[in-house]
Amino acid sequence: MNLTIAFFRLLLFPGLLFAVPAAWFFLWTERKTVALMQRRIGPPFLQPFFDFMKLMGKRVPRQPGITGALMSAWPVFAVAASIGALSLLPIFPLRNGFPGDLILLLALLELPSFFYIAAGFTSRSLFGEIGSAREAVLSISYNVVFLIAVIAIAVSQHTFRLEELAQSSGSLLRWIGILAILVCIPAKLHLNPFSVANAEQEIYAGPMTEYAGAGLALWDLSHGLEWVAMTGLVASLALPRTSHWWLDIGVFLIFSLSVVLLLSGLAAATARLTIDYSARLYWRLGLIVAVLAVSTALLARLKL
Amino acid sequence: MSYRVPIGPYHPALEEPYKLDLVCEGETVRDADLHIGFNFRGIEYLAERRNYAQLIALMERVCGICSNVHTLSICQAIERLAGIVPPERALYIRVVMAELERLHSHILWAGIAGKVMGFKTMFMTSFELRENIMDALEAISGNRVNYAMNRVGGVNRDIEDPAALLHMIDGIELALNRSIIPIFTKNHTALSRCVGVGVLTNEQAHSLAVVGPTARASGISQDIRRAAPYAAYDRMSFDVPVETSGDVRARLVVRALEILESCKILRQALSTMPAADWWGSKKKLKVPAGTVVSRIEGPRGEVLYSVTADGASDTPKRVRVRTPTYANMPAIRTMLRGARLADAPLIQASIDPCYSCTDR
Amino acid sequence: MNLWRRLLCLCRRRSPWLFHMNAGSCNGCDIELVACLTPRYDVEQLGIQIQGSPRHADILCISGPVTHYTLNAIRTVYGQVYEPKAVVAIGSCPASTNVFIGSPVVEGPLEKHIPVDVYVPGCPPRPDALIEGIAKAAKILSDRRRKQAERKPGQ
Amino acid sequence: MNELEQIASSLGLPETWEERNGSWWMAPASLDVRVMAAVLRSHEARFVTLTAMQLLPDERIRIDYHWDLDGRLLTFTTFAVENRVPSIVDLCEAADWVERETHENFSVEFTGRPYEPLLLRTGDASGLQLRKERS
Amino acid sequence: MNVWALLMDNLRRGTVTLRFPSRPPTCNRYRGLVQINTEPCKCCGICALVCTSAAITMKKGDGKYEWNYDAGQCTFCGRCVDSCALKLLTMDSTPPPAYETSGALKQSHTWSAKSVAAKPASAPNTTSTEGKVSEEVPR
């Protein structure tokens, strides 16, 4: 994993150059699917790009209370963390990651929601604080299920290297783990059953209430990048490895798109749950998955 | 420690400005106080400076969703004072317009409740269905919202083809029974937001004197159309849905059943409508001195108009408007105590508030 | 840099975000604006979204005859919407206090307090007339320079 | 109909009910508003609203109390003695808002109750007066 | 029918949205801008009396009649059209266009009193709208 490959992955394929258009494409797919399911036409194809550029063009005056240095730094960190997570995914180029890159991937996937919470508190708006408190409660509850599922998969394959995880054959525990990750994605991406943190009807836009212009554009971009990162993680764990590299990318894109369509359907079909109901849901679900995963992992380990 | 969360004048969950200051500890609301008056336009002040022809167009603009309610009530008040009896067909047309307005107002409320609940699909489905009613209303009266149908002593326009109206009503009833009512009452995520939320017990409803669907959802069987029938309601047979649990789901069920009742009334009115003249009296309006009170059942509850005239000038001396939301709004405070912060917008939306009615 | 300027103008026209303010209106116009979101008219096909907070918005839609108690709220919110911005007056009320003319509590046409770009007449205007007005405001918005000289009211 | 006579007798009013324009009117010479509220609440009547009006400048303010007794609308007409009327808020919670609004519109003094501004009229001295002297 | 069935049904039935420039048709009863046929008008002023938002104002002076109509003030209630004895007022059946400068849709017609007395109420000819109606609706 020398420097050039690292930069190639960071800036070119799974990184910036691929990730940003993919993020906009996924955002557009989600809005278009929800619209079509409601018999509406939905936004034109380049809409996320237009929104991004328009927000970049807004002239946000420097008010100390609103646009402090720290406050405008959070979205940049969030975008960087998401792109970092994306570049670690074992997709096309030389795929010999380093041992333990799964743990780095998990850390980078957690950072954006941490920055989201911090942004809510630094923006000093009451709705920002309430939104951040909700986001914190939600991330505690869904992370239980998410981390346990990933660790269970890693333990069952005896490796923390993404590369070997991607190659190994599917086992029952692996599919349960992937299902658990899929259940956590709506909470992580603030999709409708769990869109509690940025509940427009209750607390304006939650932590992002005070953001405007470039900050808001970067937050939308980091949201899109999270889409790509999460679907990428699920795709790399679930997909078999084929011989040709272009077949890999094709299958990866198709699988990610189907995950996006599924989640958009879920978002269109449900109402927004309250924070305590969703936390209770995840904790109940979390305990079952936890016990199941750890026990099977230990059994597998003891038998060998 | 408790802090104050202002659901301020301009909030995405509120269609109109009014301030709801919630005193919360964590996510539960301890107390709430309301500040209204943003939509106060001094309509009662203006009403004393408008002649009887202008008064009806002014009263129509008290509220955008229930405009027909206000014109019907003021016309009935002046007719009772002046002793004018509108022709039979005009009474039937008034019943048809009142029920069409109840249809579109209740379906609008179902859409807004879906939007506040975060259930965007039901918001879109309800409003898509409501467009059929708005087209029918525009075909009859020329404007989607302010119909200008009522005139002292009769109506301004006739309903030419009841067949198209009946066809639209069948479509509405089919769509409601097939998709909107089952989803709102059986979907788990929607139920988790509605059941046991914002409860108003029967005693509280009695002491706060709430009206309309809010009262009927708390077990008070009260409906002015049956208690004091006006227009042609005494010739219509319909029943008044009543629920007893008093939470947001009960209000939703009461309004859904009322929509089906409205469809029933519309079918009866359109089929038994006499083919007489509808224009009514042609001579100049002469209003004697005196005070009159007229009440009708609007989509949100009982509307009371008290008109006082002195017989000499052609402007009323005093027009008093008591709108249903004015009676239901104090009930929001009792419903919000102990509720979750996330449910506060849904609870205040569940009484179908119309602040421009409240502030006049 | 002309390309960058043209790109920004195109994006401003293609993604106008609205913030709706009810300045004492009878909610006939507000419900028609909400109806614009629904399947039959669907403003999202033009990239239009109704935002929850004025900071995220470009076009300020105001309905109602500017009552005395909403006047300073309008001025503060007009300040919170960042440049470049446009104002759309929905219905006859903001254009000229409609039927409430002569009421001591109504502070007269909207243009006395903030500069208005597009008037959509009607009581209430139909949703398609609203969309036509907003599209016109989006076109005006896209020609505005990024550093907007503060326009005096009534211009 | 006997319930109406019952109410009139328990209030000790010589006048009789008069049915006019579809509702029942009672204009007693002197009426204790609090007794009226107590009696009607005991009869399970619902307080609808109260209408205050002043037909001629600096004339006494006339106040009509409207009650709904299962479908029938009863109206009691009283006059405010030098702008002072006993409040019935403690007997009937629903009258709270309308008393505060009438205080702001007609500056009628409802004795025995706290006042917070109901309609956001902090700027105007005592609200938009519907009294004839003011306009 | 649960939510998923509704979503699949919506996908099957397709969208109902009208593409932007096209607008739903208005019926002939739609109440749009007020137009006047000034020839036979005797300036009785009933339309100004009935107008609750003072949108129509009439002036009579030294043999000249003047009829002013401000669309911004008008509330499109149609009372003036119904109350005109000679049925000279009509309402457009197309929605009024959006305009940019306030007062753009104002209309004012002045005609001399003599022309009314001389000519009997002939067929309504084309009304001369001197007022500036804003340009064609931009597509």
Chains contacting B (3 or more CB pairs within 8 Å): A, C, D, E
Task: Mark yes or no for CB contact A36/E19 under 8 Å.
Answer: no
Query: Given a cut of 90, is residue B42 above it in pLDDT?
Result: no
3-state secondary structure chain B: CCEEEEECCCCCCCCCCCEEEEEEECCEEEEEEEEECCCCCCHHHHHCCCCHHHHHHHHHCCCCCCHHHHHHHHHHHHHHHHCCCCCHHHHHHHHHHHHHHHHHHHHHHHHHHHHHHCCHHHHHHHHHHHHHHHHHHHHHHCCCCCCCCEECCEECCCCCCHHHHHHHHHHHHHHHHHHHHHHHHHCHHHHHHHCCCCCCCHHHHHHHCCCHHHHHCCCCCCCHHHHCCCCCHHHCCCCCCCCCCCCHHHHHHHHHHHHHHHHHHHHHHHHCCCCCCCCCCCCCCCCCEEEEEEEEEECCEEEEEEEEEECCCCCCCEEEEECHHHHHHHHHHHHHCCCEHHHHHHHHHHCCCCHHHHHC
Per-residue pLDDT, E115 = 62
pLDDT of residue B262: 95
Q: How far apart are CA C129 and CA C127, in angstroms?
A: 5
SS3 content of chain D, % helix, strand, coil (to 5): 25, 30, 45
Size of interface C-E (CB pairs under 8 A): 94
Kindly report, residue by residue over D22-69, the tens digit of the pLDDT: 888 888 888 888 888 999 898 889 999 999 988 777 778 889 999 998
CA distance B133 to B167: 11
Q: How many CB atoms lie within 10 A of CB E86?
A: 13
Mean pLDDT of B255-270: 94
Rg (CA), chain C: 15
Which residue, A247, B181, C81, A35, is CA-closest to E15?
A35
CB atoms within 10 A of CB B317: 20
Q: What is the DSSP string of C76-124?
A: HHHHHSPBS-EEEEESHHHHH-GGGTT-TTB---GGGTS---EEE-SSS
D neighbours by CB contacts (3+ pairs under 8 Å): B, C
pLDDT tens-digit map of B242-259: 999 999 999 999 999 999
Subunit contact E75:B57, Cβ cutoff 8 A: yes
Query: Which of B125, B101, B255, B132 minimizes the C-alpha distance to B180?
Result: B125
Q: CA triplet A156, A281, B187: central angle to 5 degrees?
A: 125
> Which residue among A36, A268, A269 sits closest to E15, beta carbon to beta carbon?
A36
Residue D56 contacts B, CB cutoff 8 Å: no
| 8 Å CB contact of C39 and B38 | no
Who among C47, C82, C148 is closest to A60 (CB)?
C82
- CB-nearest to B292 from D21, D48, D92 is D21
Task: Determine the longest span between alpha carbons in chain A, in angstroms.
Answer: 65
Q: How far is B65 from chain C (nearest CA, A)?
A: 6
Instruction: Give the tens place of pLDDT for each residue, C121-147.
Output: 999 999 999 999 999 999 998 887 654
Amino acid letter for position A223: H
If one compares B191 and B16, the residue with the highest pLDDT of the two is: B191
Nearest CA to CA, how far is D20 from chain C (Å)?
33
D122, pLDDT greater than 50: no
Tell me if chain D has a CB within 8 Å of the CB of C68: yes
Average pLDDT, chain A: 85
- Asked if residue E119 has pLDDT above 70, the reply is no
Question: Is D31:D78 a contact under the CB 8 Å cutoff?
Answer: yes
Task: Look up residue A241 and give its DSSP letter.
Answer: P
Q: What is the pLDDT of residue D124?
A: 52
How far is residue C53's CA from residue A216's CA, in Å, rounded to a whole number?
12
Chain B contact present for C144, CB below 8 A = no
**Which chains are adjacent to chain C, needing at least 3 Cβ pairs under 8 Å?**
A, B, D, E
Distance from CA of C135 to the nearest CA of A (A): 15
Tokens 């009927």 locate to B216
CA distance E66 to A81: 72
Strands B154-155 and B150-151: antiparallel
A35 touches chain C (CB under 8 A): yes
Least confident of A299-303, D121-125, E7-11: D121-125
Q: Are B233 and B102 in contact (CB under 8 A)?
A: no
Element (H, E) at D76: strand D72-79
Q: Give the number of other CB atoms < 10 A from CB of residue A287.
A: 13
Backbone phi, psi, residue A89, to 5°: -65, 135
Comparing CB atoms, the residue among D22, D97, D105 nearest residue B326 is D97
Mean pLDDT on D88-106: 87
Angle at alpha carbon of residue B290, lines to B280 and B52, rounded to 5°? 45
Pairing of strands C59-63, C86-90: parallel
Say whether residue B175 is in contact with chain A using an 8 A CB cutoff. Answer: no
Token duo for residue C152: 């005096």
Query: How does D19-47 read in b/e, with b if 16+ C-beta sit within 10 Å?
Result: eebbbbbbebeebebeebbbbbbebebbb
Nearest CA in chain C to E105: C121
Least confident of A55-59, B103-107, D4-8: D4-8
Which residues fall within 8 angstroms of residue C5, CB to CB, at 6 or more apart? none
**Candidates D70, D96, D120; nearest CB to B227:** D70
- Above 60 in pLDDT, residue D75? yes
Phi-psi region of C24 (alpha: psi -120 to 50; beta: other; left: phi over 0): left
The pLDDT-based confidence of C154 (bands split at 50, 70, 90) is very low
User: Could you report the predicted ipTM of this complex, rounded to two decimals?
Assistant: 0.89
Tell me if chain A has a CB within 8 Å of the CB of B120: yes
pLDDT in tens, A51-64: 999 998 888 887 76
- Residue range B143-169: average pLDDT? 91
Whether residue B216 contacts residue B246, with contact meaning beta carbons closer than 8 Å, is answered with no
Helices and strands in chain D: count of H runs, count of E runs = 3, 7
In the structure encoding, which two tokens stand for residue A146, read together?
């998410």
Residue A179 CA, distance from chain mean position: 15
Nearest to C132 by CA among E78, E16, E77, E100: E100
Return the beta strands (E) in A78-216 as ranges: none
Which one is predicted more confidently, B348 or D135? B348
Distance from CA of C46 to the nearest CA of D (A): 39
Taking CA C94 as the corner, what is the angle to CA C91 and CA C97, rounded to the nearest 5 degrees? 100
Distances (CA, A) of D7 to A50, D12, D34, D93: 71, 9, 14, 21
**A199 interfacial to chain B (CB closer than 8 Å):** yes
Nearest CA to B48 among B61, B58, B38? B58
Count A/B contacts: CB-CB distance under 8 Å. Answer: 70
Helix B88-117 to helix B67-82 angle (10° resolution) is 150
Cβ pair E24:B135 closer than 8 A: yes
